[in-house]
């Protein structure tokens, strides 16, 4: 059974705690691992977001299926803070023995190194393990915006430079970068209004305080069905199975793809056979009808890719984000 632990630590305290506990953790886990094949104790999935967030939800859905195959509990441990640095610090403070992983989006790899030059970790500390899922975001507008399609929205913004606002769940988020990339690709002028998560940005759209935003499907579906918002397009490389009638922005901007990628990271040095087993069980879970159904209900599309597929996705996202920042001059810190 999946268990949950929630830690509310500052980034500095979280990282310090993790590193200070390393010696104790190593001795404890070495004893626990001393007999029997892996896994012979619970496995930790540390999440960079609070309970209920997208990485947390995906980790729980996959974890429930995976633990039944692994024969051990998967403990979900939420350590939000520092844009993922707290969770990464906790993992790096534990032994690289295959019992501690981080589950999150690609930001700790692609955005954080750009966002924070003094980051306490680097890509060399992280080992991509498994590519769990994609979560496309959808472009939505308030009903007062005279646009019922992506083409009409682009034309309207272009005809009204600087007059429209868009919300996001924070500076440097996929929600933010998705609009920056659209604006750059279509030569649009639209003003950014950052919020602290979709819990603030979506209500702002519903209230007409911003004219547009990108958000996850579940956050918009109900409002779209009651005509409180209009969904116009998806931000992935192709049309989403969640709303196949909506175009992908990649249909008008080649190579456009800012969907959220979610996967499992390990600490560098984690045994290869353990990482392969985690990836194999994740791939198997991604094919399970119940897992697929649960993911679709929260606007997520299963992938089930191995370490190589996850690494390739992270490298592609990192390159795309760096090029976007260089081209646009947008500040993400």
**32 versus 114: which is more confidently predicted?**
114
Inter-residue contact 169 to 179 (CB < 8 Å): no
d(C-alpha 72, C-alpha 258), whole Å: 35
Distances in Å between the Cα of 313 and the Cα atoms of 49, 235, 287, 293 are: 21, 15, 20, 24
d(C-alpha 123, C-alpha 110), whole Å: 9
The number of residues in the chain equals 333
Bridge partner residues of 134 (DSSP): 261, 301
d(C-alpha 220, C-alpha 231), whole Å: 8
Domain with CATH 3.40.190.150 in the chain: 3-134+259-325
Write down the pLDDT at residue 284: 98
Average pLDDT estimate for 315-325: 91
Query: Lowest mean pLDDT: which of 34-38, 118-122, 152-156, 328-332?
Result: 34-38
Class of domain 3-134+259-325: alpha beta
Q: Residue 203 pLDDT more than 70?
A: yes
Q: What does the DSSP 8-state code read for residue 240?
A: -
Helix axis angle, 174-186 to 150-159, nearest 10°: 70
Write down the pLDDT at residue 2: 58
Is the backbone peptide bond immediately before 294 cis, with ω within 30 degrees of 0? no
Is the alpha carbon torsion for 46, 52, 54, 59 positive or negative?
positive
Domain with CATH 3.40.190.10 in the chain: 137-258
Q: Residue 181 pLDDT more than 80?
A: yes
Contacts of 60 (CB under 8 A, 6+ apart): 2, 76
**147 versus 328: which is more confidently predicted?**
147
SS3 category, 231: strand
CATH of 137-258, one of 3.40.190.10, 3.40.50.150, 3.40.50.970, 2.30.40.10: 3.40.190.10
Q: Residue 169 pLDDT more than 90?
A: no
Q: Residue 28 pLDDT more than 50?
A: no
Q: Residue 54 pLDDT more than 80?
A: yes
């Amino acid at each position: 059974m999946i268990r949950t632990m929630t830690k509310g630590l500052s980034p500095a305290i979280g990282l310090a705690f993790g590193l200070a506990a390393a010696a104790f953790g190593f001795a404890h886990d070495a004893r626990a691992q001393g007999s029997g094949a892996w896994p012979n104790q619970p496995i930790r999935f540390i999440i960079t977001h609070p309970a209920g967030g997208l990485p947390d939800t995906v980790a729980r859905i996959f974890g429930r299926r995976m633990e039944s195959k692994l024969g051990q509990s998967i403990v979900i441990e939420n350590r939000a803070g520092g844009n993922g640095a707290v969770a990464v610090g906790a993992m790096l403070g534990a032994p690289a023995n295959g019992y501690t992983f981080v589950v999150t989006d690609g930001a700790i790899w692609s955005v954080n190194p750009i966002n924070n030059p003094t980051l306490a970790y680097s890509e060399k500390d992280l080992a991509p393990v498994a590519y769990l899922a994609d979560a496309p975001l959808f472009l939505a507008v308030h009903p007062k915006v005279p646009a019922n399609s992506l083409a009409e929205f682009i034309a309207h913004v272009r005809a009204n430079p600087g007059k429209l606002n868009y919300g996001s769940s924070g500076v440097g988020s996929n929600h933010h970068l998705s609009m920056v990339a659209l604006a750059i690709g279509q030569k649009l002028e639209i003003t950014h209004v950052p919020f602290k998560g979709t819990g603030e940005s979506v209500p702002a759209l519903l209230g007409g305080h911003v004219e547009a935003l990108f958000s996850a499907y579940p956050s918009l579906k109900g409002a779209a069905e009651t005509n409180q918002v209009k969904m116009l397009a998806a931000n992935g490389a192709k049309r989403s199975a969640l709303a196949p009638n909506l175009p992908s922005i990649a249909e008008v901007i080649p190579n456009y793809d800012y969907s959220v990628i979610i996967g499992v990271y390990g600490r560098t040095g984690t045994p290869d056979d353990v990482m392969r087993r985690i990836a194999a069980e994740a791939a198997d879970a991604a094919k399970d009808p119940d897992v697929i159904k649960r993911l679709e209900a929260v606007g997520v599309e299963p992938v089930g890719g191995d370490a190589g597929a996850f690494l390739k996705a992270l490298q592609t996202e990192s390159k795309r984000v760096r090029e976007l920042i260089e081209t646009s001059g947008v500040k993400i810190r």
